[in-house]
């Protein structure tokens, strides 16, 4: 099974840049999308159903903002929109599908870059998700949590750690949460296979950051420990450019 996570920064925008053609060639079994930025009424599933995907989206209530989706070749047994927390469900931050005994979530963690108020929301979301995911594991023990976490875990995951030491996305308290998370039964699938530096999944549109590879690794596919023996490979597709992010891939043998 090939699973991809991709913050597309607007699914309609990505389609104008060849997203559907790329998806046809890449042909994942499951693709988890973040920042789809489209309302249900404005979403046309045809480009994806034509490729054999079952499409499930969970938009934000606010138009042109946030929103997540999962497209899968196999029809899900169950689709769960949101987490039951109205504050975050209003912003369209989580959707989960169940395929047999495997569950896959697409998650878009809040950004705190617009100020203290949103940073506080981000930290509250982190605490909520930690508890939510560990509770979910009691009934859905095999779980992939794919998405834009909006946090660089360690210094290797950001191009300039010293200058960004107190920047949202690399704050000590955010990094501490990631450390706790990956020590609590979840595997960072990319780092499980790849230990080299300068591997990033997001680049600012400013200052030619992508061409200079001045990036951040903020997109992850986390797997529960009981899937460790199923992991085959993980990589980032940095040459794919429909967005300011690139896709993250995880392959499993099930």
Distance CA 56, CA 75 (A): 10
- 187-218 CB burial, b ≥16 within 10 A, e <16: bbbbbeeeeeeebbbbbeeeeebbeeebbbbb
Half-sphere exposure (Cβ direction) of 148: Cα atoms closer than 13 Å: 29
The owner of tokens 């960072």 is 188
**245 DSSP 8-state letter:** B
Instruction: Considering the candidates 29, 77, 148, 163, report the single residue annotated as catalytic.
Output: 148
Q: Is 131 marked active-site?
A: no
DSSP H or E segment with residue 7: strand 2-7
- Nearest Cα neighbor of 72 from 39, 107, 33, 43 is 33
CA dihedral 200, 201, 206, 207 (to 10 degrees): 20
Just list the catalytic residues.
Answer: 148
């Amino acid at each position: 099974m090939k699973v991809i996570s991709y913050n597309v920064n607007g699914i309609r925008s990505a389609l104008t840049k060849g997203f559907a053609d790329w998806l046809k060639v890449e042909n994942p079994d499951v693709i988890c999308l973040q920042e789809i930025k489209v309302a249900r009424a404005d979403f046309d599933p045809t480009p994806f159903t034509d490729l054999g995907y079952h499409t499930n989206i969970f938009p934000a209530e606010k138009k042109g903002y946030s929103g997540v989706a999962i497209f899968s070749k196999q029809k899900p047994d169950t689709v769960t929109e949101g987490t039951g927390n109205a504050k975050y469900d209003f912003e369209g931050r989580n959707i989960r599908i169940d395929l047999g005994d495997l569950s896959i979530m697409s998650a878009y963690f809040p950004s705190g870059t617009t100020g203290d108020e949103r940073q506080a929301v981000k930290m509250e979301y982190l605490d909520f998700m930690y508890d939510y995911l560990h509770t979910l594991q009691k009934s859905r023990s095999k779980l992939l949590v794919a998405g834009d976490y909006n946090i660089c875990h360690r210094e290797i995951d950001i191009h300039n750690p010293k200058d960004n030491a107190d920047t949202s996305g690399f704050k000590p308290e955010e990094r501490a949460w990631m450390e706790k998370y990956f020590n609590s039964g979840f595997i960072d699938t990319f780092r499980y296979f790849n230990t080299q530096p300068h591997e990033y999944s997001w680049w600012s549109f400013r200052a030619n950051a992508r061409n200079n590879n001045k990036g951040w690794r903020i997109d992850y596919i986390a797997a529960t420990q009981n899937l460790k023996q199923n992991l085959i490979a993980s990589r980032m597709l940095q040459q794919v450019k429909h967005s300011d992010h690139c896709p993250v891939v995880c392959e499993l043998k099930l």
